[in-house]
Amino acid sequence: MRGTIVRVPVLEANNTLGIGRFGWKNQHASLESFAADAFLNEMGITSVLQPTENTSSGNSVRNFDNVSDPEDDGGKVQAVTRFMRSTKAPPRDEKRLATEEGKAGAAIYIKIGCAECHIPQILTAPVGTVINGAFIVPPALGNKVFQPYGDFLLHDIGTGDGIVQNGGQVTRDKIRTAPLWGLRTRNRLMHDGESRTVLEAIMRHRGQATEVLQQFVALNDFDKWLLLTFLSCL
């Protein structure tokens, strides 16, 4: 199963194209671009990367916004970006993963195909690599193996929202694979938050994930329990 790669403008690199990895539609290729987008569209704060104020249903808000644009000179966007780069997902429950149940569940996860999209581990780029023409991979981040349980690519699993962003019409019904790291800390799942349990989320998979869902449904109750036990360790 192959995910869809979309190349999107990196705002802080003069709109150089990079591979989208952030946002449910992979509409951004860097955390700084992602932060600038959130500043504008979630908080209404313009910045040097997103200097144009949004309208209100197509109408200018100039008469109600007396602060000159951009409202942020880039410093706050960069500070939020540094904060995001400094955080990490909750660690896995290594003690439970080391049990016979945890190991058996991990094997079933691989066997039925979950790992085709929810890739268990990825090796980061070498130290010194220039990403998107704007970010140099530091020693703290280079050549590191991490366990995101996701490929950060777009897939059609039957839950698409029909929204088109930077990826064009091909992404209309595709959603970025949600990384499963920190799964046990969440109580709202899938891109729309409509699933309250891991089992509910699994049963919603369709499209490219249909065969994997069929493999899951065919498991006996004990093997399903083993798989869910493994997932509860992430």
Q: What's the CATH number where 145 sits?
A: 1.10.760.10
> Residue 103 above 60 pLDDT?
yes
| Whether residue 51 is found in the same domain as residue 150 | no
| Whether residue 63 is found in the same domain as residue 126 | no
Q: At 168, is the pLDDT very low, low, confident or very high (cuts 50, 70, 90)?
A: confident
Provide the domain limits for residue 175.
Answer: 94-231
Where does a domain end: 51, 86, 121?
86
The structure tokens listed for 136 are: 């140099």
Count CA atoms within 13 Å of residue 107 on its CB side. Answer: 8
> Residue 187 above 70 pLDDT?
yes
- For the residues 176-201, what does the mean pLDDT come to? 93
| Whether residue 134 is found in the same domain as residue 209 | yes
Return the pLDDT at 215: 97
- For the residues 157-186, what does the mean pLDDT come to? 90
Return the pLDDT at 123: 96
- State the Cα–Cα distance between residues 12 and 71, nearest whole angstrom: 17
Return the pLDDT at 130: 92
| Whether residue 172 is found in the same domain as residue 59 | no
- State the Cα–Cα distance between residues 168 and 53, nearest whole angstrom: 23
Q: Is residue 149 part of a domain?
A: yes
In percent, the amount of the chain with pLDDT more than 90 equals 78
* pLDDT tens readout for residues 108-156: 999 999 999 999 999 999 999 998 887 899 998 899 999 999 999 999 9
* pLDDT tens readout for residues 49-91: 999 998 888 888 888 888 888 999 989 999 999 999 888 888 9
For residues 34 and 23, is the Cβ–Cβ distance under 8 A?
A: yes
Q: What percent of the chain is helix, strand and coil (3-state, nearest 5)?
A: 35, 10, 50
> Residue 224 above 60 pLDDT?
yes
pTM of the model: 0.88
User: Per the structure, how many domains does the chain have?
Assistant: 2
Q: Is residue 27 part of a domain?
A: yes
> Residue 161 above 90 pLDDT?
no
| Whether residue 81 is found in the same domain as residue 99 | no
Q: Is residue 106 part of a domain?
A: yes
Query: Radius of gyration over alpha carbons of the chain, in Å?
Result: 20
Where does a domain end: 54, 86, 118?
86
**In the predicted model, what is the mean pLDDT of the chain?**
93
Residue 67 gets which letter from DSSP? S
| Whether residue 20 is found in the same domain as residue 82 | yes
- State the Cα–Cα distance between residues 106 and 147, nearest whole angstrom: 13
Return the pLDDT at 2: 80
Q: Is residue 2 part of a domain?
A: no
Q: Is residue 64 part of a domain?
A: yes
| Whether residue 99 is found in the same domain as residue 192 | yes
| Whether residue 224 is found in the same domain as residue 121 | yes
Q: Is residue 30 part of a domain?
A: yes
Q: Which among 169, 118, 132, 114 has a CA at the least distance from the CA of 10?
A: 132
In percent, the amount of the chain with pLDDT more than 70 equals 100
Where does a domain end: 86, 108, 134?
86
Q: Is residue 1 part of a domain?
A: no
Q: At 1, is the pLDDT very low, low, confident or very high (cuts 50, 70, 90)?
A: low
Return the pLDDT at 65: 82
| Whether residue 135 is found in the same domain as residue 155 | yes
* pLDDT tens readout for residues 25-45: 999 999 999 999 999 999 999
| Whether residue 191 is found in the same domain as residue 111 | yes
| Whether residue 195 is found in the same domain as residue 218 | yes
| Whether residue 148 is found in the same domain as residue 165 | yes
